Amino acid sequence: MVDFLDLRAAAQARREELLAAAAAVIDSGWFILGEQVAAFEREFAAYCDAPGAVGVANGLDAISLALRALGIGPGDEVIVPSNTYIATWLAVSHVGAIPVAVEPDEATYNLDPARVEAAITPATRAIIAVHLYGQPADLDPLRAIADTHGLALVEDAAQAHGARYKGRRIGSGDRSIVTWSFYPGKNLGALGDGGALTAGPAIAADVAMLRNYGSARKYEHELIGYNSRLDEMQAAFLRAKLPHLDAENERRRTIAARYTAGLAGTGLILPFVPDWAEPVWHLYVVRHPDRDGLAAHLKAAGIGTVIHYPTPPHLQAAYAPMGLGKGSFPISERIHREVLSLPIGPMLTDGEVDQVIDAVRRFG
């Protein structure tokens, strides 16, 4: 049996470090917004080459709070990918704004800059680019479009910890507003929920207040805020795991390269990586017209797979009131019918990778 992702094995590999991290929090007696969160914020910002980081409760809150800090609210429009996890859309809805979907580049599955400009209206306030599956979106043309129209550019990097765009870390630079998730299955995953934002001082300061009841000083509330704080225990776990992230990402790259070589000629659509992208392979996603048949075949062979994602946001019941029925976004709908994620966790052995390749190649 090859598990899609063995979180138990991943935790066991760092067991002693994680136990020491938990003990440090317990012994400190400080459990909310203490030194562990502050230290992780410094360390993660340094890792991303970012000016600063703010820890929040989860990745969805990170996007919502970024939009709030930008002053985006009811009546505003925010351009989002049609091909993404629904959290990207939900964050826009949570601030009262309207998600405006744009189709992806079918080769990379990320937001297509060529289609973005046509979606801009006088109500547009921001563009959210998702670095889907751990591969960077094409940021330079998106930044140029945003600058031309006076829009904010927010990056959803929930799956892209450590990825690089044209040699630059995702999250780097004073102008980047990047949101992160530390859900346990992410490349940098906590042992529970967690999230963060990396950004310049002004946005970071507002998010730091918004996450803590709108307060920078106890019992003084400058903004109408939320309770969305990264937990001290999760921050301690993340600090223990961060030094291993690059090595684990490199293992993911090795597995991806083995898949790409081993699955050539099988009839599957394999991932395409532009020469300017350095993905971290949060997921290795293939496509096949008979996706469900392939998944059933692999299950019978003892191979775990997952569909990321079976239903695009515009066809979810939550967004039915927008009236975006089938056929509204044909590229995304086709992608969602055909994609299948193969196992690619850093604990996967070469023998297990070979089992996956052999099983796929036997699919008739």
Confidence class of residue 144 from pLDDT cuts 50, 70 and 90? very high
Tell me the per-residue pLDDT of 273-289, one tens digit each, with 9 for 90 and over: 999 999 999 999 999 99
Percent above pLDDT 90 for the chain: 99
Q: What is the pLDDT of residue 72?
A: 98
The whole-number pLDDT of residue 313 equals: 98
CA distance 65 to 214: 11
Residue 364 scores a pLDDT above 80: no
Does residue 75 sit in helix, strand or coil? Answer: coil
Give the whole-angstrom CA distance, residue 38 versus residue 86: 30
Q: Yes or no: say if 118 and 145 are a contact pair by the CB < 8 Å rule.
A: no
Q: How many helices (H) and strands (E) does the chain have?
A: 13, 14
Tokens (6 digits) for 256: 């991806």
pLDDT tens digits, one per residue of 12-56? 999 999 999 999 999 999 999 999 999 999 999 999 999 999 999
* pLDDT one-digit tens code per residue, 182-226: 999 999 999 999 999 999 999 999 999 999 999 999 999 999 999
Question: Under a CB-based contact definition with an 8 Å cutoff, are residues 347 and 6 in contact?
Answer: yes
Using pLDDT thresholds of 50, 70 and 90, give the confidence band for residue 65: very high
Average confidence score pLDDT of the chain: 97
- Which whole number is the average pLDDT over 120-138? 98
Quick one: pLDDT at residue 41? 98
| Percentage of the chain modeled with pLDDT above 70 | 100
Which string of DSSP letters, residue by residue, matches 184-249?
TTSSS--SS--EEEE--HHHHHHHHHHTBTTEEETTEE-S---B---BHHHHHHHHHHGGGHHHHH
